Amino acid sequence: MTLQTLLEIKSLSVDYGSASGAVHAVDDVSLTLERGQVLGLAGESGSGKSTLAYAITRLLNPPAVITNGEILYYGRKNADAAAPVDILDMSRSELRTFRWSELAIVFQSAMNALNPVMNLEIQITDVIKAHNPGLSASARRGRALELLRLVGIAPDRLRSFPHELSGGMRQRAIIAIALALAPEIIIMDEPTTALDVVVQRDILSQILALRTEFGFSIIFITHDLSLLLELADKIAIMYAGRIVELATREEIYRQPRHPYTRGLLNSFPTLHGPRRRMSGIPGSPPDLRSVPPGCAFHPRCPYAFDACPKIVPALLDIPTGKTTPNALVACHLYDPALNPEGAESVLNAQSNDHTDAAPPPQVELSASSDAGGEQ
């Protein structure tokens, strides 16, 4: 099945102006999102992943500035227009129409994302009303009830206020609101981080079930790479505002290429696969006001060599096989001009990966399991 491009981010750069100079929160990022795909964005705090997500709908406030780039949106499946439109060039009213009906966001903390003084019904229906003014009040209410059913919230909760709902319910509520206009893309910014593990699982399987039913694409932002290995089709790893690796989940799992990715994977235990020694990544993410020269990761990298502090690595294409897309890595180890020995020899000297094991299966909802029955 050929994948259709839905969203194309080209060379996006976002700066935060401050008294001491510009901070590059997002630095020359290019990404593609296909229809029906789950794209994972992984990275530590301050890597720029949330900034990137909010930049897509131009939700950033001053002092953030988009200094460069294009974000091309290819429109709905059945739209006639062949040419994509640059979101960054949209007028106010175009942007307002675009928002939520094409692209919705699920925020990290539902408690903070819900207006505390409005009940749930109003928060669901006001967006419907804003985009479909012709719809009657009872039709809107009907849609709201339908959305609650989809996410597994009891209908008698329609008029509740956010503080009257449990944490899990609140998260489901903002997922329901996100679905209100049946968008093509949903950006999920750490949607389950604030919840306990059991509720996390529920919510995640709910999300994937809805995706299967409605076919929207997801950009899933998290610091938890192990989660993405189960959820995402494609994963982008970000560090200090740049993408350092971009590959399918199988590739990331089987053969993590960037030393940072390898470090991240070694930081999480898995239930599958052979036992191995865990190691973290020494040091901490850089302060974006003083990013290390050359490769931003080099102070923490166990494989750094003399080129690393000098030259900023560009994303290199690495073939992975005839039928699979290339992996992209921003690391000098993979540049034959700078590292003639090749990456494998350097990495295998300290190797710890599990190329033979199969990656964990992607979380699916099978017909026999209990779907949507939770409260």
Using CB under 8 A as the binding rule, the residues of this chain from 160 to 199 that contact another protein are: 161, 163-164, 174, 177
CA 302 to chain centre: 27
> Residue 220, SS3?
strand
Q: Residue from 3, 22, 307, 311 that binds another protein (CB under 8 A)?
A: 22
Torsion angle in degrees (nearest 10) through CA of 162, 166, 172, 174: 20
Task: Report, in Å, the least distance between residue 85 CB and another protein.
Answer: 14
128, 99 contact by CB (below 8 A): no
Distance of closest approach, residue 106 Cβ to another protein, in angstroms:
9
Question: Six-digit token pair at 243?
Answer: 């993408």
Size of the site for another protein (CB under 8 A): 51
The answer to whether the peptide bond before residue 63 is cis (omega within 30 degrees of 0) is: yes
User: Given the complex with another protein, which of 116 and 134 has the nearer CB atom?
Assistant: 116
Residue from 32, 37, 47, 101 touching another protein (CB under 8 A): that is: 101
Rule CB under 8 A: is residue 35 a binding residue for another protein? Answer: no
Quick check: 374 and 152 in contact, CB under 8 A? yes
Tell me whether residue 92 or residue 275 sits nearer to another protein (CB atom). Answer: 92
Task: List, in order, residues 6 or more apart from 348 with CB less than 8 Å away.
Answer: none
Q: Roughly what angle, to the nearest 10 degrees, separates helices 167-179 and 137-151?
A: 130
Residue of 3, 60, 8, 46 whose CA lies nearest to 29:
8
CA distance 205 to 198: 11
Whether the CB-CB separation of 221 and 188 falls below 8 Å is answered with yes
Residues in region 125-154 near another protein by CB under 8 A? 126-127, 130-131
Stretch that binds another protein, among 19-27, 37-45, 262-270, 311-319 (CB under 8 A): 19-27
Q: Which is nearer to another protein, 13 or 248 (CB)?
A: 13
Instruction: Kindly tell me which of 116 and 280 has the beta carbon lying closer to another protein.
Output: 116
CA 140 to chain centroid: 30
Write each residue from 57 to 96 as x if it is in contact with another protein (CB under 8 A), else as -, in one continuous string. xxxxxxxxxxx--------------------x---x--xx
Stretch that binds another protein, among 28-36, 99-107, 219-227, 237-245 (CB under 8 A): 99-107
Enumerate binding residues for another protein (CB under 8 A): 14-15, 17-19, 21-22, 54-55, 57-67, 88, 92, 95-101, 104-105, 107-109, 112-119, 126-127, 130-131, 161, 163-164, 174, 177
